[in-house]
């Protein structure tokens, strides 16, 4: 993501957390770690980091260095996706779809498995209603039957 690796998980309260994937201790890839006691534990020396990104535990009992932290990206959950923002604070909220509410739109995958395109293309097209209306003839109305007929992948629950 953005030219680097990130790791995403849910904190004990169920909120999304997105961190840089590099441990500040020796640079291990945190995506190989695991969540233990609500914290992300590094697979190499088991330093663990809280949802705020700060080191919360070193198993050898060493004093935690003041700068021992992984960068935590602001994130939000909307439309069934996790939105990560590049920077210390989100400059804007996740996109809003015109005349729609999150509970009124669902995506139904009819095919599963790997596809010969980058995942960002599928995700961006899924929330791009101009694309859906232009290329897939998704109607402007909210009639679920019409939506299903015109664009079989998308349905609006009644």
- The single residue listed with the structure tokens 């770690």 is 33
> What's the average model confidence in pLDDT over 34-56?
96
What is the pLDDT of the chain when averaged over all its residues?
Answer: 81
The DSSP annotation for 9-50 comes to EE-TTS-EEEEESB-TTT--BGGG-EEETTEEEPTTT--EE-
Residue-wise pLDDT for 125-148, tens only, equals 666 666 666 767 666 654 444 444
pTM here is 0.67
Residue-wise pLDDT for 74-106, tens only, equals 999 888 788 999 989 999 998 887 777 877 766
Domain boundaries, the chain: 6-73, 102-155
Lowest mean pLDDT among 34-38, 106-110, 111-115, 139-143: 139-143
Question: Class for domain 6-73, per CATH?
Answer: mainly beta
Q: Compute CA 29 distance to the chain's CA centroid, rounded to the nearest angstrom.
A: 18
**pLDDT interval class at 158 (50, 70, 90):** very low
CA separation for the pair 104, 80 (Å, rounded): 12
**pLDDT interval class at 69 (50, 70, 90):** very high
CA separation for the pair 60, 62 (Å, rounded): 6
**pLDDT interval class at 17 (50, 70, 90):** very high
CA separation for the pair 105, 107 (Å, rounded): 7
Compute the C-alpha angle 93/141/122, nearest 5°: 50
Q: For 145, phi and psi rounded to 5 degrees?
A: -65, -45
> What's the average model confidence in pLDDT over 114-132?
69
């Amino acid at each position: 993501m953005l030219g680097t690796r990130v790791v995403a998980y849910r904190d004990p309260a169920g909120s999304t957390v997105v961190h840089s994937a590099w441990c500040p201790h020796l640079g291990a890839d945190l995506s190989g770690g695991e969540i233990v006691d609500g914290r992300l534990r590094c697979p190499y020396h088991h330093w663990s980091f809280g949802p705020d990104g700060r080191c919360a535990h070193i198993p050898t009992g060493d004093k935690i260095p003041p700068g021992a932290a992984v960068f935590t990206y602001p994130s939000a959950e909307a439309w069934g996706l996790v939105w990560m923002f590049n920077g210390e604070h989100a400059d804007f909220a996740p996109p809003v779809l015109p005349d729609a509410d999150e509970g009124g739109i669902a995506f139904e995958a009819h095919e599963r498995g790997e596809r010969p395109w980058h995942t960002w293309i599928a995700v961006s097209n899924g929330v791009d209603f101009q694309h859906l209306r232009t290329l897939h003839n998704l109607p402007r109305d909210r009639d679920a039957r019409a939506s299903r007929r015109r664009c079989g992948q998308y349905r609006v629950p009644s």
